[in-house]
Amino acid sequence: MQELKTDILVIGAGSGGLSVAAGASQMGADVILLEGHKMGGDCLNYGCVPSKALLASAKLAHAQSHAEPFGVADRAPQVDYAAAKNHVRDVIAQIEPMDSQERFEGFGVRVIRDWGTFLSPTQVQAGNFVITARRVVLATGSSPLVPPIPGLDELPFETNETIFELRDKPDHLLIIGGGPIGMEMAQAHVRLGCKVTVIEGARALGKDDPEAAAVVLEALRAEGVEVLEHAMVARVRGKAGAVEVVTEDGAVHAGSHLLLAVGRKANTDRLNLQAAGIDRTHTGINVDDSLRTTNRRVYAIGDVAGGMQFTHVAGYHAGVIIRSALFGLRSKAKTAHIPWATYTDPELAQVGLTEAQARDRHRDKVEIARFDYAHNDRAVAERRTTGFIKVMVVKGRPVGATIVGHQAGELINLWSLALANNLKMSQIAAMVSPYPTIGELNKRVAGAYFSPRLFENQMVERVVRLVQRWIP
C-alpha cells in the first residue's frame, strides 16, 4: 500500500465534487479526487445532460407536426430513435472534456480512478492507496431507487442509467413513477413516436403546486401520454418486449418496455461510514447546517447529504464548504432560495414556498400576485400562452414563486435572486424588461402585486385629483 497525505480528499467526481476539487486546488490546497466510475457523475452521463438532449430531439419532432398555426404545413416527423440517442451521446461527448480527468489534473488535482472506503475516522483506502486527509468531502451522489416490487427481478427494466443507451424504440413504454424524471421521459418518448403510460401511486408531480402541475399533466395527456394517478403497483410480470404492470385494483397495463422512475437513493454502501464515525439518516448522510457530518473532519454535499437532489444544489454546497474548509469561516447551507424545474413542455419551476405552504406558514399575511402567459405579447406571438406565474408575498417581499409555462426554468432565476437577497417586490417592479420578451412576465407579476394599491385606492385618487387641481 502507498500512503498519501493531502489537505482535501474529495470522494466523487460529479458536479459537487468537481467544484470542490477545482476551487480548492486553484486556491492553493493540496487536493486528491477519487472516482470509481465516470467523471462527471450522474448529471453528465445519466441525468440532466442526456435527458435535456433527448427532450430537444422530441421538441423538434413535435414542432414538425404542429406548424400549421404558423403558416407552415404540418409534416409527420420521420423519427430515427437510434439517431436521437446518437445526438444524446454527442452532446455528452461535447461536454465531457469540461469534466475530464485531464482537465482537473491541469488544475493540480491528483485524480485516482477508484472507489474510496474509510478505514478509520482519518484514513480512506482507494485501490492500493491509503490516504490521510485534513478534510474529506463526500460527494458520491445518488442512484436510481429500485423498489421491491414482486416480479421485478424476473424481467428486464430500464432506469435513467440505462434508458439513454437503448437504441430500439419502445412500442409502448410503461413508466412507474410520475415525478420529474418520469414525466420528462414520458413526453420525450411520446413525441418520438412511442405509446406511453405513466403509473403513479400518489399524485403525479406531487411535490409541485397542484394548480401548476395540472397544467403540465393536461398538456401531456393532450399529446397522448396516459397518466394514471393513485395507482399503486402490486407486481410486474412478463419478459423482454412484453411487460405487464398489475396495480392494486387488479388492472393490468401491458407494454413493451418498463422504466423505473420512483426516486433516488444516496450512494453510501461502499464508504464504510461506520469506520469513520459517520451517522446516516433514512435519506442519506446526517449533516448539520454547515454540511459537516458527525465526524467533524468530513463533509457531505449534494445528493448524498440527503436533502434536495439537484445538480445545482451540489454546486451550491461546494461553495458553502469551500468557505469553511479552506478559510475556516462559518458557513451555512440554506434552502429557501434553491429553485427547481421540470423540463416538460410547458416547463414547471418553483423556488421558495408554494401557495399552500405560504398560506400555512403565514396565514392571512400572505398575498398572491399572479399574471398569465396569455397577457404576454411575446407568448402570444409564439403561441405559447399556456401557463401562469404566481408569487407569494409577505410584507412586500417574495417568499416563493411558482411558474408553469414556456421557459419557466429561465424565469425562475430572477426569483431565486430575489429570495437569496431578500429583495422587495418594489425592486422587481423597478426593473425594465426589453419588449417583447417572455422575461417581461416577471416584471408584470410585480406590477400585478401593486395594481390594487394604486388603482383601487381612494387615497391615491384623492391625491391625484388634488395635484391636478392645484399644481400648475
Query: What DSSP assignment string belongs to 411-449?
Result: HHHHHHHHHHTT--HHHHHT----SS-TTHHHHHHHHHH
Domain(s) of CATH 3.50.50.60: residues in the chain: 2-39+100-143+265-327, 152-262
Q: Is 52 annotated as a binding residue?
A: yes
Cell 418520438 maps to which residue? 192
Across residues 246-266, what is the average pLDDT? 97
Question: CB atoms < 10 A from the CB of 172, how many?
Answer: 17
pLDDT at position 290 over 80: yes
206 among annotated binding-site residues: no
Least confident of 78-92, 94-108, 118-132, 455-469: 455-469
Q: What percent of the chain has pLDDT over 90?
A: 93
Give the mean model confidence (pLDDT) for residues 154-181: 96
Task: Tell me if 400 is assigned to a ligand binding site.
Answer: no
Q: What is the CATH number of domain 152-262?
A: 3.50.50.60
Q: Say which CATH class 339-455 falls into.
A: alpha beta
Nearest-10 crossing angle of helices 440-455, 458-470: 80
Q: Is 181 annotated as a binding residue?
A: yes
Residue 182 assigned ligand-binding role: yes
Mean pLDDT value of segment 277-301: 96
Binding residue per annotation — 142?
Answer: yes
Average the pLDDT over 138-165 and give the result: 96
The sheet with strand 242-247 has its strands ordered as: 233-239, 242-247, 252-255
User: Does the annotation flag 17 for ligand binding?
Assistant: no
Rg of the chain's alpha carbons, rounded to an integer? 25
What is the pLDDT at residue 352?
98
Average pLDDT over residues 395-407: 98
State which CATH number among 3.40.50.11890, 3.40.190.80, 3.40.50.360, 3.50.50.60 fits the domain covering 2-39+100-143+265-327: 3.50.50.60
Q: Residue 31: helix, strand or coil by DSSP?
A: strand
Q: Residues 393, 342: contact at Cβ < 8 Å?
A: no
Query: Is 438 marked as binding a ligand?
Result: no
Does residue 200 have a known ligand-binding role? Answer: yes
What does the pLDDT read at residue 232? 97
Half-sphere exposure (Cβ direction) of 206: Cα atoms closer than 13 Å: 14
pLDDT digits (tens, 9 = 90+) for 430-460: 999 999 999 999 999 999 998 776 556 666 5
pLDDT at residue 324, rounded to an integer: 87
Q: What is the mean pLDDT of residues 288-292?
A: 95
Q: Report the pLDDT averaged over residues 117-139.
A: 97
CA of residue 34 relative to chain centroid, distance: 25
pLDDT for the residue 247:
97
CB hemisphere CA count around 1 (13 angstroms): 11
Taking CA atoms, 315 is separated from 95, 100, 102, 328, in Å, by: 17, 17, 21, 19
Give the confidence band of 246 by pLDDT, cuts at 50, 70, 90: very high
How confident is the prediction for the chain on average, in pLDDT? Answer: 95
8 A C-beta contact, residue 238 and residue 222: no
Region 316-329 average pLDDT: 89
**What pLDDT, on the 0 to 100 scale, is given for residue 457?**
60
- Contact call for residues 233 and 148 (beta carbons, < 8 A): no
141 known member of a binding site: yes
For position 463, what pLDDT does the model report?
Answer: 63
* Residue 116 among known ligand-binding residues: yes
The answer to whether 115 and 36 have CB atoms below 8 angstroms apart is yes
Query: What pLDDT is stored for residue 461 in this prediction?
Result: 61
CA atoms within 13 A on the CB side of 96: 12
- What is the pLDDT averaged over residues 189-194? 98
* pLDDT band, residue 262 (cuts 50/70/90): very high
For residue 468, the model assigns a pLDDT of 66
The model's confidence at residue 274, banded by pLDDT at 50, 70 and 90, is very high
pLDDT at 418: 98
- The C-alpha atoms of residue 412 and residue 394 are separated, in whole angstroms, by 18
Q: Is the pTM of this model over 0.75?
A: yes
Q: Which of 344, 342, 411 is nearest to 373 (CA)?
A: 411
> pLDDT tens digits for 92-119?
999 999 999 999 999 999 999 999 999 9
